[in-house]
Structure 1
Amino acid sequence: MQTQALEVLQKVFGYEQFRGRQAEIVAQVAGGGDALVLMPTGGGKSLCFQIPALLRPGCAVVISPLIALMQDQVEGLHQLGIAAAFLNSTLDAHAAREVEQSYMRGELKLLYVAPERLLTPRFLALLEHTPASLFAIDEAHCVSQWGHDFRPEYIGLSLLHERFPSVPRIALTATADAATRREIVTRLALENAAQFVSSFDRPNIRYRIIEKDNARKQLLAFIEREHHGDAGIVYCLSRKRVEETAAFLSANGITALPYHAGIAAEIKAGNQTRFLREDGIVMVATIAFGMGIDKPDVRFVAHIDLPKSLEGYYQETGRAGRDGLPSNAWLAYGLNDVMQLKEMIESGGSPDAQKQVERDKLNAMLGLAETVACRRQVILGYFGENAVPCGNCDNCLVPPTTWDATDAARKALSCVFRTGQRFGAGHVIDVLLGKTTEKVKQHFHHTVTTFGIGKELPEAGWRSVLRQLLAAGFLQTDTEFGGLQLTPAARPLLKGEMQLRLRGLPEKQRDKTDRDKKRSAASLDIAATDEPLWQRLRSTRRALADEQSVPAYLIFTDATLKAMLDAKPATLADMAHISGVGAQKLERYGLAFLDALHAG
């Protein structure tokens, strides 16, 4: 079986060797065993069920939560010469019947379905008539009721074990902490499954978090400086922010498209298609966009609002650099982000236990944003993995300073208390700075003892102090007014029973230092003399993709093109040794790329 699996990997997919624990997983599932697979985005999860599907008799059924991307996933298999299809609501009754009949006739090796379609009596009857070779449950974390991306229809997938106990199952996810992992095992009845937990590390991604100071302008500068002409995703918390940011980027020469649940379905689908199939598109979106995105050449993922959880952040940033090439994860966040997310939790209708889970997840995200340690260490530590400093995140490249903020913190906390614990950060800062605004005078806060005691720091400095006090749990937001309130943790600090050090070094200075280093995380290191050849390879790929109306990366990824550029194969036999060039693609495209490599 291992020899056969390796042969399929090399001949069909064009890769010389398995990575990490792929070989073990393939052997487990191809041999009829169940598996739970935790593997980072870009780690090669799909191969873990696609190769067993080709080795086992019959057709594998792949459960995927997003119907919009099934077509491209199936087209990718067609490019490899693999018989695959999908069943979802985009097909009319006649087309759906054709797929069902192809399945029953044994003409397919992989069939993709949405979970709600799989659980219908019609589809279950189809499985009873023609059992699947295996079930692959993608994005398995969706089964976790208290996870960051719960999907109710996933709960019903436990039925697979009950109705088809002899069919092997493989559940796969890129984001699951220990609690979510336990929930997946319980809800999908995978107690006897072999568990394969790969490293969560994405070493090709550079993590950078800066203090928000006109986020859209900061974002534009980042894209212009490091990602001109690159594909990227920008995540925003609200639909309004999505629209405004896409319009701003477009007005400044960036091809940016909006995506959120309020956009008409046909426009949304069109924008997604353009993102997948064209080069250099920036998608500005809410978190409704992205799950299952297979586009491997996304060179950056940016957030201009703080994510609600570290799982969400990890999953979203993981959409960058799936091809293994250098990529950026960039986040701008500020005091208002912290206040808004905390207020959303407290004012929500969730049960107290759920709110506590949400608080814990947000606190972990805040811990990453405010840490002075290696970002990668914090992320991997959250998922239970030990790591040494990476030397590639912003904190490793430009170590932040810290300062004794005990006195400043006591002033800020005292001011929150003296002003009644019901005002927002802006008002508290005005009082600290001694500003006689109308609001300050209206509430007689120019008469409190903390009026004007904070003139040693600028407004930005006080915003940083309040943000970090919120993040550290010394302050909380009032659910009724959205104002700042003291927590019990503030008492020892106010009484002088503890010292407090906070993160220093203004982020604008840190960003400038990063620029001065001139170390682009997303550089493909293409020599100037090779640039014309690189563009010729890309043009060849684009033309072939346009002929078939498929995304360019389904022809060859950037990583495969880069390998061609470096190796410059002279014959088809040489081309066959390029990673990502399988037998089917060699036959279909080999000569075209050899011509491109040696033209002139």
Structure 2
Amino acid sequence: MTQDPAKVLHDVFGHAGFRGRQAEVVDHVMRGGSGLVLMPTGGGKSLCFQVPALCREGLAIVVSPLIALMEDQVAALRQQGVAAAALHSELEEPERREVWRSLNEGRLKLLYISPERLGMDGMLERLSQRDIALFAVDEAHCISQWGHHFRPEYRALSFLRSGFPEVPRLALTATADERTVDDIRAQLGLEDAPVFRSSFDRRNIHLAAAPREQERSQIRAFLREASDGRGAGIVYCGTRARAEQTADWLRADGYDAMPFHAGMPSEDKRDAHRRFARGDAVVMCATIAFGMGIDRPDVRFVAHLSLPQGPEGWYQEIGRAGRDGLPARALLLYGAGDIALARHRIQQSPASDEQKRIERARLDAMVGIAEAGTCRRRVLLRCFGEDLAEDCGHCDVCAAPPRLYDGTVAAQKLLSAALRTGNRFGLGHLVDVLRGRLTDKVAQFGHDQLPTFGVGKDVAEGAWRGVMRQLVSQGALDIAVENHGELVVTEAARPVLRGEHRVMLREELIRPRSARSSRETPQTSSDDPLFAALREWRKTEARTQQVPAYVIFHDATLAEIAARRPGSLRELRDVPGVGESKLQRYGEAVLAALAEAA
């Protein structure tokens, strides 16, 4: 007998009503329909399959790509009184036997499983003998060869269409462009099924990007603004060595910083992930090996120390901040070398010409976001086919709009200097030539005799780097990354040199301005003594149970409890995020913590 979704939403998950398009998705699945759900990270995708899984007869199968993601979601569901389990390679034998026993006895409502495990050990044959409520394919972009985290194992999920034609199939992802969407639908047989699109606008995340000039100073300033001392953060580093080095100097600065990358011993990675998951205020200095499936809601900031490969990956990574809806910040630092290196890697890759074309387009879109002269959020959302009606008012460009000026002459001077010196020198030497500095190297090569010697004194020395970076981003200059970083003039520079194409540069490169405004200061409940007391109670409870703190209650729920100050279980029941199971389990303890702190 099916249950009422609204009642399940309230009694199990503690929410008074659905958000956005959740109700449409749940109703569609309840009627046996399949579809694709596109919702941003933190937008409530999980409820789209968890609620109908509890309402429909039978077992729900959730295909998930990461063990950590499965374990976190199972832990959260068990806190809410739901019979859930996961099958994965790191289960101890007694745990594996218990999962199979629960499965065989029909005691489970949700089973999380990897795509690899789904095709092993006669799993499909066993499932074919059971009543299946639905299949949910989480992180569905992994199934697409055009997706930014393509996993070939996901491709085998196409058998769900033929093997279980009557069972609803729900694919869910937070990041997918149109090509990826089409591929997901084709692989899972969803061509005729609806696509439920939600806005990708995460307005609570303040977006900022800046040229990488003094990296440590820039990160220090960012952490002072972004960290409240309680929530965690992530600093994405381009290499393993950089992750280690960044963690080292942040620790020296007094931060609880930890490295994370694929080259670390498995036990060290598990320990780092465990500390992050349990709610410690740590700064994870990581490669992109860390992150997919992170459910921690109180990540307050995400920084990137180099340019991501495309908007999809970057959006998913910054989306790990502020899942609780409270203010969070994202910072992207980038340089011309990042752009040149990315282009070089694409060109040298063994991928097909079509794949290279797509990767170049993604890189160009990412460069466009980094170099945006208008609302950065609008530029980002256009990558996902979404147009904001007006500027967001909550990014660095909106806070301090840059002015453009005609930089054609400066561009011509730099391009001419590179050409006349034979495309054999880096920016430092070219600036010496342009500013008329007679160094030993300039004299050695006779570059003081060139027409370009001394013609660039009108541009500040530091500003030449900005001119160069923008010319690289526009494709007029390239950097020989396989050699020593020489600047090479490209074919695209010819119209500039001939005066046929104007080059507009950002004035902020010449006269930098602060991008901070008072309205961007995060407003949280972190200084409320009741909120602090509830967090301390939660921390103790989580350690006792050895579960992540956020699976007990999210910060947003604790903040609401602190604001309402309920004096009874009945009043506590009305707080969003407090379901019946958690009310019975923690209600008295929460009221006691409030009374003690009052």
Name the TM-score class by shorter chain.
Answer: over 0.9
Spell out the pairing of 1:18-37 with structure 2 (5 A cutoff): 18-37=18-37
Give the partner amino acid of 2:315.
Answer: Y
Give the partner amino acid of 1:84.
Answer: A
Give the partner amino acid of 2:455.
Answer: I
- Asked whether 1:591 is paired with 2:588, we answer yes
Contact 2:34/2:193, CA 8 A, preserved across alignment = yes
TM-score by structure 2 length?
A: 0.95
Counterpart in the other structure of 2:499: 496
- Asked whether 1:551 is paired with 2:554, we answer no
CA 492–300 in structure 1, closer or farther in 2 if over 3 Å, else same: same
Q: How many angstroms apart in 1 are the aligned matches of 2:444 and 2:140?
A: 55
Spell out the pairing of 1:292-331 with structure 2 (5 A cutoff): 292-331=293-332
> Structure 1 regions of 5+ residues with no counterpart?
none
How far is 1:525 from its partner? 5.2
Residue of structure 2 aligned with 1:429, choices 424, 428, 431: 431
Contact 1:210/1:331, CA 8 A, preserved across alignment = yes
Counterpart in the other structure of 1:404: 406
Contact 1:8/1:51, CA 8 A, preserved across alignment = yes
Give the partner amino acid of 1:74.
Answer: V
Contact 2:2/2:55, CA 8 A, preserved across alignment = no
Q: How many angstroms apart in 2 are the aligned matches of 1:347 and 1:440?
A: 33
Q: After superposition, what is the alpha-carbon deviation per residue over 1:103-126, rounded to whole angstroms, capped at 9, x for unaligned?
A: 122110111111111122522222
Q: How many angstroms apart in 1 are the aligned matches of 2:227 and 2:409?
A: 42
Residue of structure 2 aligned with 1:570, choices 546, 567, 570: 567
Contact 1:343/1:477, CA 8 A, preserved across alignment = no
Contact 1:81/1:584, CA 8 A, preserved across alignment = yes
How far is 1:518 from its partner? 3.7
Give the partner amino acid of 1:463.
Answer: R
Q: Percent identity?
A: 51
Q: How many angstroms apart in 1 are the aligned matches of 2:522 and 2:547?
A: 25
Q: How many angstroms apart in 2 are the aligned matches of 1:244 and 1:31?
A: 53
CA 73–159 in structure 1, closer or farther in 2 if over 3 Å, else same: same
Counterpart in the other structure of 1:102: 102
Give the partner amino acid of 2:309.
Answer: K
Counterpart in the other structure of 1:12: 12
Contact 1:233/1:300, CA 8 A, preserved across alignment = yes
Q: How many angstroms apart in 2 are the aligned matches of 1:448 and 1:356?
A: 39
Contact 1:404/1:499, CA 8 A, preserved across alignment = yes
SS at structure 1 position matched to 2:148:
coil
Q: How many angstroms apart in 2 are the aligned matches of 1:480 and 1:78?
A: 53
How far is 1:480 from its partner? 4.8
Contact 2:460/2:510, CA 8 A, preserved across alignment = no
Give the partner amino acid of 1:540.
Answer: W
SS at structure 1 position matched to 2:508:
coil
How far is 1:228 from its partner? 4.1
Counterpart in the other structure of 1:382: 383
Spell out the pairing of 1:494-533 with structure 2 (5 A cutoff): 494-506=497-509, 509-511=512-514, 513-514=515-516, 517-524=517-524, 531-533=528-530
Q: How many angstroms apart in 2 are the aligned matches of 1:416 and 1:49?
A: 58
Contact 1:346/1:479, CA 8 A, preserved across alignment = no
Q: After superposition, what is the alpha-carbon deviation per residue over 1:57-111, rounded to whole angstroms, capped at 9, x for unaligned?
A: 1111111111133212111000000000000000134432331231122110111
- Asked whether 1:260 is paired with 2:261, we answer yes
Q: After superposition, what is the alpha-carbon deviation per residue over 1:143-189, rounded to whole angstroms, capped at 9, x for unaligned?
A: 12122111111111101112111111100000011111111111222
- Asked whether 1:345 is paired with 2:346, we answer yes
Counterpart in the other structure of 2:183: 183
Contact 1:63/1:113, CA 8 A, preserved across alignment = yes
Contact 2:2/2:56, CA 8 A, preserved across alignment = no
Q: How many angstroms apart in 2 are the aligned matches of 1:443 and 1:2?
A: 83
SS at structure 1 position matched to 2:132:
coil
Give the partner amino acid of 1:464.
Answer: G
Contact 1:406/1:501, CA 8 A, preserved across alignment = yes
Query: What's the C-alpha RMSD, in Å, of the aligned pairs?
Result: 1.9
What is the aligned length? 594
Detail structure 1 runs of 4+ shifted over 6 Å in the superposition.
none
> Structure 2 regions of 5+ residues with no counterpart?
none
Contact 2:341/2:481, CA 8 A, preserved across alignment = no
SS at structure 2 position matched to 1:573:
helix
Contact 1:412/1:466, CA 8 A, preserved across alignment = yes
How far is 1:29 from its partner? 1.2
Give the partner amino acid of 1:67.
Answer: I
CA 425–156 in structure 1, closer or farther in 2 if over 3 Å, else same: farther
Counterpart in the other structure of 1:88: 88
